[in-house]
Amino acid sequence: MTAAPSTTAALAAREVTRTFGTGPGAVHGLRGVSLTVDPGELLVVRGPSGSGKTTLLNVLGGLDAPSSGRVWLGARELTAMRPDEVIAVRREEVGYVFQAFGLLPVLSAAENVEVPLRLRRTAPRERARRVAEALDRVGLADHAAQRPYELSGGQQQRVGIARALVAAPRVLLADEPTGQLDSATARRVMDLLRELVHTERVAAVVTTHDPELVARADRVVDLHDGELV
Ligand SMILES: Nc1ncnc2c1ncn2[C@@H]1O[C@H](COP(=O)(O)OP(=O)(O)OP(=O)(O)O)[C@@H](O)[C@H]1O
């Protein structure tokens, strides 16, 4: 019997498993993971390499389907949707921050931030307004025209955060977002991420090994061999 998610949770997973392959060689990426994240909450998922952190984020964000179990974004069950519905809901509801920033090198900071709005077919004037606002929130209003290679690592990740939040998603997923930053820069980026999660009321799931990042969580869970412990 699978319990229904709390009505206030922005994100919920119940008894999620993800198995790669079959038979004796099968790899159990996730084994019965259940969690909920509320709006404005920063949940850190900590775990050693290979514990299933990336697999969990992929399943929570609808980039991968679980082998069993259920996932909800708000009241909508991702695991009950057709693939095209999942893609549409993902664009509407989920922002991603990547370890290696994931910026397109030929685009300026502003154009990178604009990408999710173009995917959602937001009108040009509204796009320009939202991009300027998002860059301002991450302190990069004066760097809008610069390409990623003209920015520091911390600035590039701030562009990544602006891009993830520009379309006001319900959920933010970040896989080792400070993994490529020196510790002082990582602290500043984390402080910004935490502040934005709280002010924008987005439900965030962030994976990390970084103790600085763990210290800034509202809640921490540990993943070991695909299980929450
Ligand atoms: N597409 C796949 N096919 C087969 N096995 C996979 C696949 N993706 C992940 N795995 C396996 O599932 C387990 C969890 O992997 P995952 O990448 O989620 O771990 P992780 O905690 O994110 O690790 P890291 O911190 O090194 O990124 C590992 O044993 C991995 O080899």
What is residue 1's predicted lDDT score, i.e. its pLDDT? 46
Question: Which mutation among 16, 53, 63 tests ligand 1's pocket best, with the greatest number of atoms within 8 A of CB?
Answer: 53
3-state secondary structure 145-201: CCCHHHCCHHHHHHHHHHHHHCCCCCEEEEECCCCCCCHHHHHHHHHHHHHHHHHHC
Distances (CA, A) of 172 to 110, 164, 214: 20, 7, 16
| Ligand 1 atom nearest residue 55's Cα | 18
Dump pLDDT digits (tens) for 174-229: 999 998 888 888 888 899 999 999 999 999 999 998 888 898 999 999 999 999 99
Q: Where are the domains of the chain?
A: 38-66+76-228
Measured in degrees and rounded to the nearest 5, phi and psi for residue 4 equal: -75, 150
Residue 151 has pLDDT above 90, yes or no: yes
Whether 170 contacts 197, CB under 8 Å: no
Q: Quote the ligand 1 centre to 223 CA distance (angstroms).
A: 12
Whole-model pTM: value is: 0.93
Dump pLDDT digits (tens) for 153-166: 999 999 999 999 99
What is residue 7's predicted lDDT score, i.e. its pLDDT? 66
Q: Quote the ligand 1 centre to 54 CA distance (angstroms).
A: 7
Dump pLDDT digits (tens) for 73-109: 999 999 999 999 999 999 999 999 998 899 999 999 9
What is residue 6's predicted lDDT score, i.e. its pLDDT? 63
Measured in degrees and rounded to the nearest 5, phi and psi for residue 216 equal: -95, 5
In angstroms, the CA 107 to CA 114 distance is: 10
Question: Which mutation among 16, 54, 57 tests ligand 1's pocket best, with the greatest number of atoms within 8 A of CB?
Answer: 54
Question: Which mutation among 16, 18, 27 tests ligand 1's pocket best, with the greatest number of atoms within 8 A of CB?
Answer: 27
Closest-CA residue, ligand 1 atom 26, reads 49
Q: Which of 133, 136, 135, 130 is nearest to 118 (CA)?
A: 130
Dump pLDDT digits (tens) for 2-31: 555 666 899 999 999 999 999 999 999 999
Residues with CB under 6 A from ligand 1: 20, 27, 29, 47, 49-55
Mean pLDDT of 134-155: 95
The CATH number given to 38-66+76-228 is 3.40.50.300
Whether 47 contacts 224, CB under 8 Å: yes
What is the β-pairing status of strands 76-77 and 68-73?
Answer: antiparallel
Q: Quote the ligand 1 centre to 36 CA distance (angstroms).
A: 22
